[in-house]
Amino acid sequence: MTVDELYQKGFEARCDGRYGEAKLFFMSVLGQEPEHTKARWQMGLIQGFEGDFDGSFETLRALASEHPSNLDVRYDLAMTMMMLGMMDEACTEFNAILEIDSTHEKTLQQVIYCP
């Protein structure tokens, strides 16, 4: 399978809640392309889905730092911050996203919870 096919299989498994299987696909992707942003992002999301919120935060924080224009990663980082009770930091991130894209729909839905 190509990297794109492996990623797609992993994404489908992640969406179906088959996290163990998804991780295997994403690890295969990362074995071929260690810096594959989407696979790293999905692995960070799975960490959170499996209850490792701190690990998810660290993974997403690193990705957002490396790829500040990736608003989907930054949004998921902000959502993870909210889950960790880091409301001020999450709101700062939501506002930063809206400075780049004032129409970012998911962010607009969440920023209403910010002071």
pLDDT-based confidence at 29, cuts 50/70/90? Answer: very high
Q: Which two tokens stand for residue 36?
A: 């594959």
Closest CA to 43 of 70, 69, 16, 11: 11
Write the CB contacts of 53 (distance below 8 Å, at least 6 apart in sequence): 47, 80, 83, 84
Rounded CA-CA distance 23/27 in Å is 6
pLDDT-based confidence at 96, cuts 50/70/90? Answer: very high
CATH architecture, domain 52-115: Alpha Horseshoe (1.25)
Contact (CB, 8 A) for 107 and 75: yes
Enumerate the domain spans of the chain. 1-51, 52-115
The pLDDT assigned to 10 comes to 98
pLDDT in tens, 49-81: 999 999 999 999 999 999 999 999 999 999 999
pLDDT-based confidence at 85, cuts 50/70/90? Answer: very high
